[in-house]
Amino acid sequence: MPKKSNRKTISKVLFAKLRTAATQAARRAYCPYSHFPVGAAILTADGKIYSGCNVENASYGLTICAERNAIFQAVAAGSKQIAAVMVYTPTAVPSAPCGACRQVINEFGAGAEIYCVCDGEGELRTSTKELLKHAFGPQNLA
């Protein structure tokens, strides 16, 4: 018998909703410098979905990634527990969240599922635990 993963994965319906939200968000990306649009959608523990896109700046370092933008939307609306993150890029292969975004995801979703989708067939299904092993987090400051 293959070993069954004890990961709590989301339903196909929720997956599709998150994918749509992330794809629509990517259309609103402001990326005149990189020309690399990214859309992210967050599923919170209370079942709400928040989305965000990357927003660049002429002072490049001020750019905010789609994932952090979506997370900050959720927090600003009062939802601080992330169950899942969906990242969409209009590319042939999926893109995983950058290191800074992994750290911010960990703050609110240490147990979150992370899904990365694109226009190609490839898909990455992973988790905060996998992407940020031995994370520094709120527990270290407790």
* Residues within the interface to ligand THU (CB under 6 A): 31, 34, 36, 38, 54, 56, 63, 65-67, 97-98, 101
Structure tokens at 126: 């992973």
Cα separation of 12 and 33, whole Å? 35
**Smallest separation, CB 142 to ligand THU (Å):** 28
The residue from 56, 67, 107, 123 that is catalytic is 67
**Smallest separation, CB 67 to ligand THU (Å):** 5
Closer residue to ligand THU, CB minimum distance, 56 or 113:
56
Length, in residues, of the chain: 142
Cα separation of 61 and 3, whole Å? 44
Cα separation of 127 and 3, whole Å? 18
**Smallest separation, CB 107 to ligand THU (Å):** 15
Structure tokens at 83: 């169950």
Closer residue to ligand THU, CB minimum distance, 15 or 39:
39
The verdict on whether 67 is a catalytic residue reads yes
Closer residue to ligand THU, CB minimum distance, 1 or 38:
38
Can you name the residues that pair with 124 across neighbouring β-strands?
116
Residues with Cβ within 8 Å of 16's Cβ and at least 6 positions away in sequence, in order, are: none
Which are the catalytic amino acids? Answer: 67
